[in-house]
Structure 1
Amino acid sequence: MTGILKALLATGVGLVATLAFGQTYPSKPVRIVVPYPAGGTVDAVTRVVAQRLSENLGQQFLVDNRPGASGTLGSKLVATSAPDGYTLLVQASTFVATPMLMSTTTYDIEKDFTAITQLGSVPMLVTAHPGVPAKDLKEFMAAIRKEPGKYTFGTSAVGSASHLAEEAIKHDGKLQFEIIPYKGTAPALTEVMGGHINAMVDALPSTLPHVKSGKLKPLAVTSAKRIAALPDVPTVAESGLTGFEMVSWYGLWGPAKMPADLTQRIRNEVAKALASEKAVKVLGDYGFSATASQPADFTAYIRQEKARFSTLIREAKIKLD
């Protein structure tokens, strides 16, 4: 048997084995790592998808919360796992931005991971303490310009989606205000509601209940269009920052070098999970807009977001360390 024939046979056997693996997956429980504490938006979205996958595929998809180091600890755990589909990662849009914020890069989002699918996104809401002298963001920006440095914004963490949105508003609006980081969304929101800081940007699921209770005043939404939950609240773009759009989006990754057919299989099952009646209802209540993009489209979107975040981070001089 010639060397060429042996190589062809080996390739054929490997291909058949890979295809069979993709078709039989999953044959044991799957771990989905969420590199943030339980209770946040990323965790909530992941649990809805994991439950649907468990029901549809007859195997447990278990959510494993591994918070720490701005989401890098849990992410690196996945990067060093076997590329067999049994250890997956759900991350937020900040996954793209974090390496640009650190003096020492801890991972390469394209080289160290396999992009499986974008799950979807939620708009963020610009809110303020009810005592802030403005009915919307346009009026609030006018007040900030009138008294530069007087007003403060809170954020859940340096480098979070809310922080980057605040920096973008500050940069695009040529505004002067202080951004104060907190250890999580809850303490930052508490400070705004208590009147210790003036305003905050954060994902709709965490802010909407406080708007409905009257503890926060909605000023604008960061999405391109107004949202059904708050139809009278203008977008940031309508408030004077033309073309502004920044949502908090979420995606599913695996370790690098996952087989293409396995990647596609997982993506297809996630798409079914997101389209289920239960998922649509629960995620819709969060203001979540499902995407379930193809792996190639998700990869292209990641590159687009990298370019956008790179410009913002460079111009705003944002650093984690």
Structure 2
Amino acid sequence: MNRRSLLLGTGAAAASLLAAPAIQAQESWPRGKQIRVIVPWPPGAANDTLGRLLAQRLTEKLGATAIAENRTGGAGLIGTNAVLTAPNDGYTLLASAFNTAVMPLVLKGATFDPQKDLEVMARTAKAPLVMVSSGTRPQKTLPDIIAAAKAKPREWNIAISSLGSAGHLATIEFLRRTGLDLDMVTYRGTQPALTDLMGGSVQLLIDPCFALLPARGDGKINAVGIATAQRSALASDVPTMAEGGLPGYEFQSWYGVWAPKGTPREICERVNALMQETMREPAMVERLTRQVLEPVTESIEETKQFIAAEINRAGELLRSVNYQPE
């Protein structure tokens, strides 16, 4: 054997050895052990829907035994902590949302770093935010609401579905941009906030479209504006917040999958590929659109860059109003 052949053979052997761990990880996961998909929010929320979808696809496509498990409380912190402290073997995953990325900025008890202490697997879907007002108030447009709230601020307050939610950040920006000094009333979820909005005990709420728009049919709430650059195909009759006088006011909630720090890259990539495949299926696109959600297909690196930008934006906003974690 000449020297060139020897070197080629040695290189091939080395490449084979380097590839062995990846192949082994792919072959050994998932096998035998149940996969838990932790959802840190109550049943019925978008996180729950997407978490159950992930468990279903892990079972159908990878031959796993996967279940979604709701671990609620602490504005999502209890479920998140359960994943942070779990083994990094791919058998405990987190199906959560925007809150996971900004939690340490708004909650005193959140001491983790979402970019260092969790492994990103995928971003799965997004939903634009919409402002709604109580049907008990005569004002229906954003300019009229702002004028009325400035005239009598103590007669207006604004609900927050959860600390650290996209709606929470959007509310802070709304108050900053308009100069309004309204009481913010924090709830444990969208549904109780929406119930009080319908009853008139709170007057405004900003949250994802999928959670709010289905409730406007009976006139108990009014869709004021959607936080997108142009009118959304998800709700084409709702004006943008820019049309109401707040140019550049754009917010979305988004949903993703994480794993404990140190989970093998091969496992993360496999989940990412599975969710990208799922979110490209025409039937899935149609299903999510009916639920006022938009599928997302991104690589792990694209999701990491997106999350980093979201954290930077949230940090700048919170610093601008001297927000202190609660």
TM-score past 0.5 threshold = yes
Is 1:241 aligned to 2:246, yes or no?
Answer: yes
Once the two structures are TM-superposed, the CA of residue 123 in structure 1 deviates from its matched residue by 1.4
SS at match of 1:76: helix
Q: Work out whether residues 49 and 273 of structure 1, in 8 Å CA contact, stay in contact via their aligned partners in 2.
A: no
Instruction: Name which of structure 1's ranges 130-139 and 301-310 shifts more when overlaid on structure 2.
Output: 130-139
Aligned 8 A contact 1:49 1:274 in 2:
no
**2:114 equivalent to 1:109:** yes
Aligned length in residues: 313
Q: Which residue of 1 aligns with 2:43?
A: 38
Query: Structure 2 counterpart of 1:180, which letter?
Result: V
State the secondary structure of the residue aligned to 1:123: strand
Does the CA contact (< 8 Å) of 1:117 and 1:267 recur in 2? yes
Structure with more contact order per residue of length (Cα contacts < 8 Å, sep ≥ 6):
1
Give the match for residue 145 of structure 1: 150
Alpha-carbon distance in structure 2 between the residues aligned to 1:183 and 1:267: 30
**Residue 54 (1) aligns with residue 59 (2):** yes
The more displaced of 124-133 and 99-108 is: 99-108
Q: 1:285 and 1:306, CA in 2 relative to 1: closer, same or farther beyond 3 A?
A: same
Q: Is the 8 A contact 2:107 2:164 kept in 1?
A: no
Alignment partner of 1:168: what SS? helix
Return the alpha-carbon distance in structure 2 between the equivalents of residues 41 and 136 of structure 1: 28
Alignment partner, residue 16 of structure 1: 20
1:231 to 208, 212, 236: 236
Structure 2 counterpart of 1:292, which letter? T
Instruction: Indicate if the aligned counterparts of 1:121 and 1:290 stay in contact, CA closer than 8 A.
Output: yes
Distance 1:282 1:49 in 2: 15
- What is the 5 A alignment of 1:1-321? 13=17, 15-28=19-32, 29-103=34-108, 105-321=110-326
SS of the aligned residue for 2:233 comes to coil
Q: Is the 8 A contact 1:122 1:288 kept in 2?
A: yes
Moved over 6 A (4+): 9-12
Deviation at 1:104, TM superposition (A): 5.1
Amino acid at match of 1:192: L
Aligned to 2:52, what secondary structure does the other structure show? helix
For residue 35 of structure 2, what is the amino acid of its counterpart?
Answer: V
Residue 12 of structure 1: how far off its partner (Å): 6.7
The alpha-carbon deviation at position 31 of structure 1 amounts to 1.4
Deviation at 1:261, TM superposition (A): 2.4
Deviation at residue 79 of structure 1 after TM alignment: 1.7
Report the AA paired with residue 290 of structure 2.
D
User: 53-62 vs 205-214, which deviates more?
Assistant: 53-62
Q: CA 1:310/1:246 → structure 2, altered by over 3 Å: closer, same or farther? A: same
Q: Which moved more, 1:147-156 or 1:86-95?
A: 147-156
What's the offset of the Cα at 1:114?
0.6
Superposed displacement of residue 83, structure 1: 2.1
Q: Let me know the Cα RMSD of the aligned residues.
A: 2.1
Of 205-214 and 193-202, deviating more is 205-214
Bigger shift: residues 93-102 or 277-286 = 277-286
CA distance in 1, matches of 2:231, 2:55: 30
Unaligned runs of 5+ in 2: 1-12
Aligned residue in 1 for 2:6: none
Indicate the percent of aligned positions where both proteins have the same amino acid: 30
For the 8 Å contact 2:136–2:220, the answer to whether it is kept is no
Q: How far apart are 1:51 and its partner, in Å?
A: 2.1
Unaligned runs of 5+ in 1: 1-8
Whether the aligned pair in 2 keeps the contact of 1:127 and 1:216 (CA below 8 Å) is yes
CA distance in 2, matches of 1:262, 1:166: 37
TM-score in terms of structure 1 length: 0.90
Write the deviation string for residues 112-165 of structure 1: whole angstroms up to 9, x where unpaired.
111111112011221111132322223212222333343111121222222221
Partner residue in 2 for 1:5: none
Structure 1 residues 299 and 122, CA gap change in structure 2 (3 angstroms): same
- Counterpart residue identity of residue 107, structure 1: F
The whole-number CA distance in structure 2 between the counterparts of 1:54 and 1:224 is 38
Q: Is the 8 A contact 1:125 1:203 kept in 2?
A: yes
Task: Give the TM-score of the pair, scaled to structure 2.
Answer: 0.89
Alpha-carbon distance between aligned partners in 2 of 1:166 and 1:138, rounded to the nearest angstrom = 16
Q: 2: distance between equivalents of 1:130 and 1:87?
A: 43
CA distance in 1, matches of 2:267, 2:260: 12
Following TM superposition, by how much is the alpha carbon of 1:259 offset from its aligned partner in structure 2, in angstroms? 2.3
Aligned AA for 1:56?
K
> Which amino acid in the other structure matches residue 133 of structure 1?
P
User: Which protein is bigger by CA-based radius of gyration?
Assistant: 2
